[in-house]
Amino acid sequence: MRVYDSLVDLIGNTPLVRLHKVSAGLPAQVLAKVEYFNPGGSVKDRIAVRMIEAAEKSGALRPGGVIVEPTSGNTGVGLAIVAQQRGYRCLFVVPDKVAQDKIAVLRAYGAEVVVCPTAVPPDHPDSYYSVSDRLAREVPNAWKPDQYSNPENRESHFHSTGPEIWADTEGGITHFVAGIGTGGTISGTGRYLKEISGGRVRVVGADPEGSVYSGGSGRPYLVEGVGEDIWPATYDTTICDEIIAVSDKDSFTMTRRLAREEGLLVGGSCGMAVVAALQVAARAKEGDTVVVLLPDGGRGYLSKIFNDDWMADYGFLTTSSDEGLVGDVL
């Protein structure tokens, strides 16, 4: 029988899918690594299982422990799934810009969720960083994975995402493009691809306009899960050859195109990464292979990116449909 003992066994080994319409006419092929095929629906399942297993080994997480983490949702889902299987409680802290649907998902998996204001500096006592620190100190038997500093975050990508991309392209990848949140994805995957290719693979970060990685002061932007107002320890500053800043409008317009033209219902950080990947592919040589990582699915964003009224309120729709924006992004 072909049976998986646990959902945890299904984490990773996500497919590479060629983009067609949005990349038409470009010299390089653009391949999307579609992370919504993970059981929790995002790339973050990878780090969840690795961080928990390392903490069990080190004794930081003991039977009956409580996992406390500031998470925009996806890491929470990954942690919640692994925690359920192993009998831990989850207590998550999220900023209030996170879509309601994502918070509902965390609660559905049995996690407790505390919502904090987005519009305060990181050192403010009500920021989601501060609140999670306080809970981790005060709740008995708490363990904070801290995806922003935990080395297992980028190690998970060094040991899974990177090798998968190398194997699936049979070493043919020339460029890797990904958004930067904690920096775990780009740092771990990028380091693996650079090491195995002898430095040949070019690594390009995609970042929301306004975020520190592309020279901004931190805020504001609406795309979720990427960009920072602090420099996390997880981000290896030596890996990216280039960082491309992308506006919210271009990110969300591309996100909608991916659903409508490629059948990929994905999140806003995916649209952002694809905008950057298409710029890279436009400058690349004939026969180059650009791999872009798409971190999550789009169902958590139906009331925002895929809602015309929400898009129009922010001035992201300039015509009655966004068809008119096709081509704007290059």
> In three state form, how does the secondary structure of 73-105 look?
CHHHHHHHHHHHHHCCEEEEEEECCCCHHHHHH
Cβ proximity to ligand PMP: between 97 and 139 the closer is 97
Closest residue to bound ligand PMP by CB: 225
Q: For residue 285, how many other CB atoms are within 10 A of its CB?
A: 8
First to last CA, the chain: 49
Cβ proximity to ligand PMP: between 88 and 235 the closer is 235
Give the shortest CB-34-to-ligand PMP separation in angstroms. Answer: 13
CA distance 33 to 295: 8
Task: Identify any residues that bridge with 29 across adjacent strands, giving them in sequence order.
Answer: 289
Cβ proximity to ligand PMP: between 26 and 77 the closer is 77
Give the shortest CB-318-to-ligand PMP separation in angstroms. Answer: 25
Using CB under 6 A as the binding rule, whether residue 12 contacts ligand PMP is answered as: no
CA distance 154 to 63: 25
Using CB under 6 A as the binding rule, whether residue 31 contacts ligand PMP is answered as: no
Give the shortest CB-71-to-ligand PMP separation in angstroms. Answer: 8
Q: Among 85-93, 166-174, 175-183, 194-202, which window interacts with ligand PMP (CB under 6 A)?
A: 175-183
Which residue's structure tokens are 């693996």?
192
Using CB under 6 A as the binding rule, whether residue 190 contacts ligand PMP is answered as: no
Produce one character per residue of 146-158: b if its CB has 16 or more CB atoms within 10 Å, e if not. bbbebebbbbbbb
Active site residues: 44
Using CB under 6 A as the binding rule, whether residue 208 contacts ligand PMP is answered as: no
Using CB under 6 A as the binding rule, whether residue 181 contacts ligand PMP is answered as: yes
Q: Which residues bind ligand PMP (CB under 6 A)?
A: 72, 74, 179-185, 224-226, 267, 269, 295-296
